[in-house]
Amino acid sequence: MNKINTYFLAEKQESLVFMVVGALAIIVSIYFWLVINSRFYNGVGWPFLFIALIQLTIGSLIYLRSPSDAKRVNTFAENNPKNIRALEIPRMEKVMRSFIVYRYAETALILIGLYMFLTGFDGGFVKGLGIGLIIQSGLMLLADAFAEHRGHWYLDFLKSNYS
């Protein structure tokens, strides 16, 4: 398997994990609301749900898009390698810049969650919101760290072979 296919296969596999985590978070949030039904766990359920919807959406889009992306880049490599330099490298540079924004946003949500947990005073709901934000934002940060590492590897490969 060539390195282009390796990159997009790994992207597709991680997006599947992202979707599974999102689906599990939705199930857990429903369990918290319907079975446990305490202020703390009701609070945890909301960030679980909202961030899970992001995980499912992004995971699904990447999962569905990866095969066509791999085909497109392989076609560039076989038929017109200049398109990798003109199109794929700039696309990946933009993606890599996006990871910086995501890292700041996810870190901010973790800090907000920590603040909510430490200062929550309402019998647990705000503390639950805080823990939910910490957990889900931490998972997003971890997944994006893997994706960013893979993206650096792929971009370095493209630059060293097609620039």
- Please say whether the dihedral angle defined by the alpha carbons of residues 100, 102, 107 and 108, taken in this order, is positive or negative: positive
**Number of structural domains in the chain:** 1
The whole-number pLDDT of residue 1 equals 66
> Where does residue 94 rank: exposed (0-12), middle (13-18), buried (19+ CB within 10 A)?
exposed
* Number of C-beta neighbours around residue 122 at 10 A: 11
- Please say whether the dihedral angle defined by the alpha carbons of residues 99, 100, 103 and 108, taken in this order, is positive or negative: negative
Reduce the DSSP state of residue 145 to 3 states and report it: helix
Reduce the DSSP state of residue 121 to 3 states and report it: coil
Q: Which domain does 144 fall in, by range?
A: 3-162
Entry pTM: 0.93
pLDDT tens, position by position, for the chain (163 residues)?
A: 699 999 999 999 999 999 999 999 999 999 999 999 999 999 999 999 999 999 999 999 999 999 999 999 999 999 999 999 999 999 999 999 999 999 999 999 999 999 999 998 777 999 999 999 999 999 999 999 999 999 999 999 999 999 8
The whole-number pLDDT of residue 123 equals 72
Residue 35 φ then ψ, to 5°: -100, -55
